[in-house]
Amino acid sequence: MKGAWRQWLLRHGGRLGIYLALIAASAFYLLPVYVLVVTSLKPYAEANLAGMWHLPSAPSLESFLRAFEQLRPHFRNSFYLTIPATLLSSLLGSINGYVLSKWRFRGSEVLFPIMLFGMFIPYQSVLIPLVQVLQKVNAAAEVLRIPSALRGLVPGYGSIAGLAFVHIVYGIPITTLIFRNYYATVPNELVEAAKIDGANIFKVYRWVLFPISMPAFAVVMIWQFTSIWNEFLFALVLTQNPAIRPVTVALYNLAGSYIVEWNVQMAGALLAALPTLLVYIFLGRFFMRGLLAGALKG
């Protein structure tokens, strides 16, 4: 019996070691998830540091309700911010990628890396002018007497429209990159053939490129949705008014409040992570591709 065990170990020991290592690594990645979930299900009295690892004595959704109550307007802000910004920046990226891959012009090869640089910069280096310019936009809206019903659409300082505008502008490099690299794989002969058939620049896009663009749109939209939802610095600096803060800033403030209710904090963190986590779970394949595209061409 002992001999058989030994033989089994000799043959499969390596495999066993691999699985054990992978399971140990899984524990590291799941540790915060365990604590998040367990703590969120606890009442305030039980959610203390010493009992962090204990299971809740009577699981309840009370902390989720409390957290949701506080975060609800900010969830709405995040959706108002993220969805239009994602759609517009994907469209813009698609057009740019189309021009830079199929309508190259003199200097477009040099222009591209110059544009790409914009996705690596620390945004601190543009924040001071950005705040000033967006404040000027508000002042201009005042002078132009834009009716209050339309004020929400003015991309000024301290507004969701302004924040969305900023995300669209600084999203140009990455969205252009993904679309350009995707369209580069479409044979030029297809474009040429369509041109010979009399298609103009719009028709070539509409009938040749756009119909096969869905995978690239999926990658870009998921990437932008995730990045804009999770973004913090712009949101923190450009939203002084608490009413328009997106959920990342609201969670940050919730965690920084004087009365530390860990259960509510953890429930809030879980809720704030949920939309992007769902996207990841259901559309992970596209998420991966976006990640790898973010590293240029590996």
Partner 1 sequence: MRRVSWDRLISILLILPSILAIAVFVYGFIAWSGWVSLSNWDGLPPDLSWAGFVNYVRLFANPRFQIDIRNTVVFTAFFLGACIVLGMGLAILLDQGIRGENFFRSLFLFPMAISFIVTGVTWRWLLAPGDPATGRLTGINVLLNTVGLSLFQWYTDPTVVHIPPDGAVGQFLHQVGLGFLTTPNFGIPLAMFSIVIAATWQMSGYVMAMYLAGLRGIPEELREAARVDGASEWQVYQHIVFPLLRPITLSVVIVLGHISLKIFDLVAAMSKKGPGFATDVPAYFMFETTFQGDHYSQGASIAIFLLVTVSLLVVPYLIYSTRREAEV
Residue 148 vs 170, nearer CB to partner 1: 170
Q: Which tokens go with 25?
A: 């690594």
State the nearest-atom distance from the C-beta of 106 to partner 1, in Å.
11
Given candidates 176, 213, 224, 239, which one binds partner 1 under the rule CB under 8 A? 176
- Cα–Cα distance between 279 and 276 in angstroms, integer? 5
- Cα–Cα distance between 9 and 215 in angstroms, integer? 46
Helix (H) or strand (E) holding 141: helix 124-143
3-class DSSP state of 169: helix
Residue 78 vs 159, nearer CB to partner 1: 78
Q: The tokens 């043959």 sit on which residue?
A: 11
Build a one-symbol-per-residue string for 8-27: x at contacts with partner 1 by CB under 8 A, - elsewhere.
-------x--xx-xx--xx-
Q: Does 99 bind partner 1 (CB under 8 A)?
A: yes
Give Cα separations from 16 to 13, 20, 24, 175, 251 (angstroms). Answer: 5, 6, 12, 43, 42
Number of residues that bind partner 1 (CB under 8 A): 88
Q: Does 185 bind partner 1 (CB under 8 A)?
A: no
Q: Does 186 bind partner 1 (CB under 8 A)?
A: no
Where in 128-167 is the site for partner 1 (CB under 8 A)?
128-130, 132
State the nearest-atom distance from the C-beta of 209 to partner 1, in Å.
13
Where in 67-86 is the site for partner 1 (CB under 8 A)?
none
Question: For residue 93, which of 173, 162, 163 has the smallest C-alpha distance?
Answer: 173
Where in 199-228 is the site for partner 1 (CB under 8 A)?
200-202, 226
